[in-house]
Amino acid sequence: MRTIGILSFDDPKIDGSRKILHVDMDAFFASVEQRDNPAYRGKPVIIARHPKENSGKGVVSTASYEARKYGVHSAMSAAEAYRLCPQGIFVSGNYALYREVSEQVREIFKRYTDIIEPLSIDEAFLDVTDNKKGIPYAMDVAKEIQETIYKELNLTCSIGVSYNKFIAKLASDYQKPFGMTVITPKRAIPFLEQLPIEDFYGVGTRSAEKMHELDIYTGADLKKLSQDECIQYFGKAGLALYERVRGVDDRPVKVTRIRKSIGKERTFYPFLYHDNEVEETLRKLANSVSEALGKKDMHGKVVTLKFRNVDFETVTRQTSLVDAISNSQDIYFYALDLWQTYGDVSQGIRLLGITVSDLSQLAFENIRLNLYEHQAKEAETLAYKSNTLLSENEEINENKNIKEDSTIQPAPDQAPSEHEDGDA
């Protein structure tokens, strides 16, 4: 049995509070491949189609820790991953297997609690306050789960233990792989204050850059802002930020998560016969899907491309991601990768569609700096008034035959391609 690294910021008893775990499987897809293929163990494994076999196309789903040492990470192009790590073992991925193993992990969770909130195929929140085995301390529950997963499935996970979901999620990322971090109410504030702001769950790269403009680099910097200032700078995310940096998060672990998807489709006549037409349409669809996600404050981990040729043959392909996305550029990037891999415009295209599914609520990635937004709008207005290139009567018309369908519906249970996602 391997030694589990445990970091406790205090006495690991979380008395008088909820006991929440966040379990995150370590480099899940790559770890399953290494487990089942002895030749892969200890070597850099990259879950992506090999660029030499795929005309340089493809995107990395995840990479083993050995590959990460070379700078390989999820969402990177396979070509770039190969440049950084030419000795890497590229594996297309067996998503049906990953989903099966994910279900095995969940069955282990159920031995301890039925209050399980899956975030994706490889991570979940567990409320073990009143666990089935009557174990008094959350850390002991976490240790048993971690040891059982390793013993029965030969896989490692990292676990965050705390009194709410936000801090438990941060804790699971603090010591990876095969680590455990316990943060009690007494130690929550010191832990949050020393944390770089980009490590806050939900604060992505773009949001962190905006915060840096306000000289916010750590939790301590954020904590200096009043509630009114947080709302002024960050809009509707401001109140949540104000509470989270003070260790407050009353959200329950939700047993039932309704799987939804948000998608856009367009039909064409005349049909599309050129790649540049397809690419431009995919960009517009990605923008529309991103806008729809933004209205719902959601992001997703599965991107699906649908296309139909002139003979009404419909093809649906999807890819599963490690990190949820909502940005139009990200959505376009993955949809275009699917098209370049599976599409054929020579047959004529009558329908294109993009769907993002396996949705979850955005945390702070949609932060708006209202002050800067106001200044940007003023500049935009001035630029518009000074622009004399377009006459008042000039219009930009889109093809009137294009039809758009916006859907928010349960994700299909069927598996339309080799790229498929499931729950943890």
pTM listed for this prediction: 0.71
For residues 131 and 112, the answer to whether their CB atoms sit within 8 Å is yes
Query: Does 123 qualify as catalytic in the annotation?
Result: yes
Exposed/middle/buried for 9, CB within 10 Å: 0-12, 13-18, 19+? middle
pLDDT of 5 reads 52
pLDDT of 260 reads 75
**Single-letter amino acid, residue 345:** V
Query: How far lies 283's CA from each of 75, 280, 297, in Å?
Result: 18, 5, 21
Q: For the chain, which residues score pLDDT lower than 70?
A: 1-16, 54-56, 256-259, 363-424
How far is 231 from 298, CA to CA, in rounded Å? 20
Q: Which residue has the tokens 């709302």?
A: 231
How far is 87 from 208, CA to CA, in rounded Å? 34
In this structure, are strands 157-162 and 179-182 parallel, antiparallel, or unpaired? parallel
Which of 170, 421, 205 is closest to 318 using CA atoms? 421
In this structure, are strands 116-120 and 89-91 parallel, antiparallel, or unpaired? unpaired
**Single-letter amino acid, residue 251:** R
Judge whether 24 is annotated as a binding position: yes
Residue 30: both structure tokens together? 């790559």
pLDDT of 392 reads 37
How far is 32 from 154, CA to CA, in rounded Å? 9
For residues 298 and 326, the answer to whether their CB atoms sit within 8 Å is yes
pLDDT of 134 reads 95
Residue 296: both structure tokens together? 């719902």
Beta-carbon contacts of residue 283 (< 8 Å; ≥ 6 apart): 328, 332
Query: Which among 33, 66, 117, 123 is annotated as catalytic?
Result: 123
Judge whether 122 is annotated as a binding position: yes
Please list the residues that pair with 361 across neighbouring strands. Answer: 298
For residues 71 and 43, the answer to whether their CB atoms sit within 8 Å is no
pLDDT of 278 reads 94
Q: Which residue has the tokens 């998060």?
A: 249
Question: What is the torsion angle, in degrees rounded to the nearest 10, for the CA atoms of residue 258, residue 264, residue 267 and residue 270?
Answer: -160
Domains in the chain, CATH or no CATH each:
5-27+97-244 (3.30.70.270), 260-366+398-410 (3.30.1490.100)
Count CB-CB contacts under 10 A for residue 313.
10
pLDDT of 157 reads 98
pLDDT of 380 reads 45
pLDDT of 385 reads 40
Q: How many CA atoms lie within 13 A of 41 on its CB side?
A: 7
